[in-house]
Amino acid sequence: MCGIVGISARRDVVAHLISGLKALEYRGYDSAGVAVLADGRIERLRTQGKVQALEALHAGSGVAGHCGIAHTRWATHGVPSEGNAHPHVSGPVSVVHNGIIENHAALRAELQAAGYVFTSQTDSEVIAHLVARALDGQPDLLAAVRSVLPRLHGAYSIAVMSTDEPGVLVGARLGSPLVAGLGSDENYLASDIHALLPLTRRFIYLAEGDVARVDAEGVAIWDEGGAPVERAVRESQFSTDAVERGEYRHYMLKEIHEQPQALADTLEGRIAGGRVLTQILGVDAEDLLARTEAVHIVACGTSYHAGLVARYWIESLAGIPCTAEIASEYRYRNPVVRPGTLFVSISQSGETADTLAALKLARERGYLAQLAVCNVPESSIVRESSLVLMTRAGPEIGVASTKAFTTQLAALALFALAFARAKGLDEQRYLDGVRQLEQLPGLVAETLRLDAGIQDLAGDFADKQHALFLGRGTHWPVAMEGALKLKEISYIHAEAYAAGELKHGPLALVDAQMPVIAVAPNDTLIDKLLSNLEEVRTRGGVLYVFADHDIGSRVDDSRTLVMPACGEIAAPIVSTVPLQLLSYHVAVLRGTDVDQPRNLAKSVTVE
Ligand code: G6P
């Protein structure tokens, strides 16, 4: 989704602003722009399309300056176009904005009546005019921005500058993330730290409602009430290598192959002597788990699929009721919360607007605690939760989530096992579950060796318009995740069904043009699944089966790929990997933009 970079320095910053935008490309965007202050003027370059086009525009322009702001836009209000690209300008003021100003129409009408002329269809342009109007009469940019913020309803992170105060950037956030970066003789603002990693490792994460004044000498912050505050400076552990593509053709392929390591990292220090350490959720966890009588899981997209798998685990292992639902539904449906319920949010980014709003609602609803399963330390969801279980996938750049999903599953399995043991899970089943987790990195590495075989199968899909994914039990959400991957990056329409539902409708769609992909673990439902597959076969359907080693011989089809034998915990994680590879190879054959699929964003920070 939209990205912000701002730099105040004593050298020309345009190339660094554009590099920062490149590091934010993974978030998804459709246009880009940059503005710098030069000799009392605003110099601005904007373009629809890729940051590369902005770079080309800059190359011939001679635009240079010591203080500037830049933006990648993901259209919400107004089509993707150069005119709607940020920065937006009004008199001496230029602004970049992430989020949505919900009362923009009323503000636009008010500003137009006062004579301000709008040049874009965006909600964001109102901010530029409001700040310009506030500057008229009192020349302090910081005061002007602060006076405008109460008028903005919705979510925002912004960076603002004015020709009247060269070298000063003012940033503010509410509902959208913003960090300040600390350099030497220069300082920065950005919507996420990746934009600034080549420039600094030292960051201040602005809190909700904070306003920051940034210049080359320093960063000063005021809280929501206007009081000056000192926020902690954090040293980022991310290396720039972690966000490089290396030898891989796409980030997605790199991230698929990083899974054995990411899983090992997520499990590290959390299992000892064959048992999950109950302190993985903090020192009071044992008591909390004992008091937990129900679990509500809330998430979006791929993270929601992880929640659906966890629901099966928690109910089957712990015998405790568990629901998993989509955050955008949960937040508006007035959920009933029984005493003793634990709220669990799952989010790769920790910034997804609906998940964050669901968490805020949950904090008012009398849950026992709010547990975040998240990949980004210091993210809003982590900071607003009472308990945290970090996944350690490292930065995920490809929009289609891969290693974030499997590490979420590993973290949720740790939680489910620890919780189930506290609820009296049979010792043998518990120890077996933990053993499966310990074997997971090796099992996934072994599964990655199927890559060449999967690449061969991918050719069958390249000219198809539709595909059906089937699974049962924990493998139903795995099938949902497989279908999501295929539609996200190859644009093939894909649906997932619980295999038992096949004859209640989707069987009518089955013919030679509708490939049917099934994940077949060696579990208690396998006989039922094999019957469902027979139903497809006898109707002339073309089946592709990813089968557990121990049942591979029972699936009579040349398009069967045999995976390592797995138990109930490892199986859904391992089975995810071939589906990721299949989507990847199909997308490559179809020539789509694998890492930045059209219309999608990595971190959905608006509703
Ligand atoms: C976007 C991403 C998905 C992700 C979803 C939820 O749609 O493209 O990959 O699953 O948001 O994001 P979160 O960061 O909360 O897991």
Tally Cβ neighbours within 10 Å of residue 154: 16
What is the whole-number distance in angstroms between the Cα of residue 216 and the centre of ligand 1? 35
Token digits for 328? 């955008």
Residue 579 in this model has a pLDDT that exceeds 70: yes
User: Which atom number of ligand 1 is nearest to the Cα of residue 400?
Assistant: 9
Query: pLDDT value at position 108?
Result: 97
Lowest mean pLDDT among 113-117, 184-188, 263-267, 547-551: 547-551
Q: How many Cα atoms within 13 Å fall on the side-chain side of residue 169?
A: 36
Question: Does the pLDDT at position 69 exceed 70?
Answer: yes
Least confident stretch, 309-323, 427-441, 497-511:
497-511
Backbone angles phi, psi at 48, to 5 degrees: -80, 150
Q: Are strands 560-563 and 542-548 parallel, antiparallel or unpaired?
A: parallel
What residue's CA is closest to ligand 1, atom 8?
Answer: 602
Q: How many whole angstroms separate alpha carbon 346 and alpha carbon 338?
A: 21
What residues pair up with 346 in beta bridges, in sequence order? 299, 373
Distance CA 68, CA 46 (A): 13
The model's pLDDT over 510-539, given as tens digits with 9 standing for 90+, comes to: 888 899 999 888 887 778 888 888 888 888
pLDDT at 76 over 90: no
Does the pLDDT of residue 549 top 70, yes or no? Answer: yes
Residues 52-73 have a mean pLDDT of: 96
Distance 526 CA to ligand 1 centre (A): 31
- What's the order of all strands across the beta sheet hosting 560-563? 493-498, 466-471, 515-520, 542-548, 560-563
Q: What is the pLDDT of residue 241?
A: 67
What is the SS3 string spanning 65-86?
CCEEEEEEECCCCCCCCCCCCC
SS3 content of the chain, % helix, strand, coil (to 5): 40, 25, 35
Write the pLDDT tens digit of every residue in 284-333: 788 899 999 999 999 999 999 999 999 999 999 999 999 999 999 999 99
Pocket test for ligand 1, best of 2, 191, 330, 349 (most atoms within 8 A of CB): 349
Half-sphere exposure of 78 (CA within 13 A, CB side): 21
The pLDDT score that the predictor gives to residue 152 is: 95
What confidence score (pLDDT) does residue 592 get? 95
Q: Which protein residues are within 6 Å of ligand 1, measured from CB?
A: 300-303, 347-349, 352, 355, 399, 401, 600, 602-604
Which residue lies with its CA nearest to atom 2 of ligand 1? 602
As a whole number, mean pLDDT of residues 538-558 equals: 79
Hey, which of 2, 27, 302 would you mutate to test ligand 1's pocket, going by the most ligand atoms within 8 Å of its Cβ? 302
pLDDT of amino acid 578? 97
The proportion of the chain whose per-residue pLDDT surpasses 90, expressed as a percent, equals 76
How many whole angstroms from 29 Cα to the centroid of ligand 1?
15
* Residues 74/78/79/84 CA torsion (nearest 10 deg): -80
Instruction: Find all residues with CB under 8 Å of 344, minimum gap 6, and list them.
Output: 295, 296, 297, 298, 307, 310, 370, 371, 372, 373, 415
Active site residues: 2, 602
The amino acid that residue 531 corresponds to is: S
Ligand 1 atom nearest the C-alpha of 401 is 9
H/E segment holding residue 324: strand 322-326
- Taking 90 as the threshold, does the pLDDT of residue 352 lie above it? yes
Residue 239: predicted pLDDT: 67
Residue 92 has pLDDT above 90, yes or no: yes
Q: How confident is the model at residue 341, as a pLDDT?
A: 98
Using alpha carbons, select from 40, 254, 71, 261 the residue that is nearest to residue 165.
Answer: 40
| Model confidence band, residue 357 (pLDDT cutoffs 50, 70, 90) | very high
**What's the gap in Å between 552 CA and the centre of ligand 1?**
33
Q: Which atom of ligand 1 is nearest to the CA of 349?
A: 14
Higher pLDDT, 157 or 155: 157
Question: What's the pLDDT score for residue 338?
Answer: 95
pLDDT of 130 reads 98
* Span of 48-57, 421-430, 557-566 with lowest mean pLDDT: 557-566
The answer, yes or no, to whether residue 283 has pLDDT greater than 80, is: no
Choice among 118-127, 268-277, 407-416, 527-536 with the minimum mean pLDDT: 527-536
How many whole angstroms from 405 Cα to the centroid of ligand 1? 10
Average predicted confidence (pLDDT) for the chain:
93
Long-range contacts of 193-197 (CB under 8 A, 24+ apart): 193/236, 193/238, 194/23, 194/24, 194/26, 194/238, 194/243, 194/395, 195/3, 195/4, 195/5, 195/20, 195/21, 195/23, 195/24, 196/5, 196/20, 197/23, 197/236, 197/238, 197/239, 197/240, 197/243
CA of 355, closest atom in ligand 1: 15
Ligand 1, atom 1: nearest CA belongs to which residue? 602
> Pairing between strand 515-520 and 542-548?
parallel
pLDDT in tens, 223-278: 999 999 999 999 887 766 677 788 899 999 999 999 999 999 999 989 888 999 87
pTM of the model: 0.83
Res 558 pLDDT > 70 = no
